[in-house]
């Protein structure tokens, strides 16, 4: 029985690899009867390890949980048997598309529901901060109007009580500046949503977008310090590396406006939580919305959780996505490659899988 070898371009979180491995093994028989599948990934950032895996690989998949490793012509030349390369996510700046094309290798991009989910969650948090939604919710449920001496009235077209719990500082995102650190797939999706709300978006990333992408996303590149200084809302979408560890710290927080808000749906390690607590407690930052923390589950005595200007969620930004929603597109294209059918999502004009051997 032939075995199809699928290689992830870099190490993914253990749970992600296990879920994809289980999905492929459970569904390969129905999708491609008479075939087996083997999934592998490098355990380090050593390129030589990836090249060793690719010697006998049939398919290369990128972007399982972010994509930091550039995929260049040398990588393709070291993978003589791969039939196509598939990126989970639509940004492909890490891929040498011209190099792949010159070697007859199809490059596929696939919109990933997880990226939409994180972008939506980040924007929901941004709106909740601006509109003081959680404070308003608590005050309504606690009957805070009684402390203000307001009596309930039956509403009519002309009689009602506006803001009867006295929530202050309710804002609007229209015309405000959104700063994005890390313009990968989720950062790009967030920029698109901000564009629809009339926001000005600036971003910092290691690999700036092209002029066409910036027009599509509605954002403009700026130096990192400028992003900290000018943002009314700062949203983190960078990978957690030694370089980005605690990138939001006392020094960078001091650059921000005291009226600004921080949103983090990326990784908890990007933020120095003690410095963030001090800035929020001292009125040097207006608020923060955090889906990720240094420790998870987040201990209930974490100081940040005791602040009224902090919104927290338990690392759920990606949403409750069914596993097939994440991996079915890859398996379907594997089947198309084996059957000689047209691939779906090709961006370099090579619509059928490369013939090898």
Positions marked active-site: 267, 296, 315
Cβ burial, residue 168 (10 Å; 0-12/13-18/19+): exposed
Residues sharing a CB contact under 8 Å with residue 170, sequence separation 6 or more, in sequence order: 130, 131, 132, 163
Residue 338 is encoded by which pair of tokens? 């084996």
C-alpha dihedral, 85 to 355 to 97 to 90, nearest 10°: -40
Residue with tokens 């009224």: 308
Closest CA to 218 of 187, 262, 241, 239: 187
Distance set, CA 49 to CA 8, 53, 83, 95, 318 (Å): 12, 6, 20, 18, 30
What DSSP letter does each residue of 309-327 carry, written as one string? TEEE--S-TT----HHHHH
Q: Report the SS3 class of residue 113.
A: helix
Distance separating alpha carbons of residues 111 and 14, to the nearest angstrom: 22
Cβ burial, residue 44 (10 Å; 0-12/13-18/19+): exposed
CB 231, CB 223: distance < 8 Å: no
The H-assigned helical ranges of 232-300 are: 250-253, 273-281
Distance separating alpha carbons of residues 66 and 338, to the nearest angstrom: 27
Helix 323-339 and helix 113-131, axial crossing angle in degrees, nearest 10: 150
Distance separating alpha carbons of residues 275 and 118, to the nearest angstrom: 25
Phi-psi label, residue 273: left if phi above 0, alpha if psi -120 to 50, beta otherwise: alpha
């Amino acid at each position: 029985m032939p075995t199809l070898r699928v290689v992830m371009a870099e190490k993914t979180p253990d749970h992600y690899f296990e879920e994809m491995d289980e999905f492929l093994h459970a569904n390969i028989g129905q999708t491609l009867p008479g075939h087996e599948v083997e999934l592998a990934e490098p355990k380090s950032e050593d390129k030589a390890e990836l090249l060793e895996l690719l010697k006998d690989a049939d398919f290369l998949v990128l972007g399982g949980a972010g994509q930091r490793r550039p995929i260049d012509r040398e990588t393709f030349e070291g993978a003589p048997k791969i039939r196509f390369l598939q990126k989970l996510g639509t940004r492909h700046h890490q891929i040498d598309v011209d190099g792949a094309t010159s070697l007859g290798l199809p490059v596929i991009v696939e919109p990933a529901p997880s990226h939409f989910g994180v972008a939506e969650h980040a924007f929901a948090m941004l709106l909740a901060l601006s509109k003081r939604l959680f404070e308003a919710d608590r005050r309504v449920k606690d009957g805070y109007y009684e402390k203000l001496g307001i009596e309930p009235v039956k509403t009519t077209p002309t009689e009602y009580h506006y803001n009867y719990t006295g929530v202050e500082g309710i804002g609007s995102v229209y015309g405000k500046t959104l700063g994005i650190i890390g313009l990968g797939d989720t950062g790009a999706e967030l920029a698109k949503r901000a564009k629809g709300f009339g926001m000005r978006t600036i971003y910092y990333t290691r690999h700036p977008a092209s002029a066409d992408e910036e027009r599509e996303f509605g954002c403009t590149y700026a130096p990192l310090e400028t992003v900290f200084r000018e943002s009314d809302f700062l949203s983190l979408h960078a990978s957690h590396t030694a370089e980005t560890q605690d990138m939001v710290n006392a020094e960078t927080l001091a650059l921000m406006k005291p009226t600004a808000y921080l949103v983090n749906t990326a990784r908890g390690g990007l933020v120095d939580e003690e410095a963030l607590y001090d800035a929020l407690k001292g009125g040097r930052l207006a608020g923060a919305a955090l889906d990720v923390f240094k420790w998870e589950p987040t201990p209930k005595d974490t100081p940040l959780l005791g602040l009224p200007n902090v919104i927290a969620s338990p690392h759920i930004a990606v949403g409750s996505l069914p596993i097939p929603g994440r991996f079915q597109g890859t398996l379907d294209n594997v089947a198309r490659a084996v059957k000689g059918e047209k691939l779906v999502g090709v961006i370099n004009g090579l619509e059928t899988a490369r013939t090898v051997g």
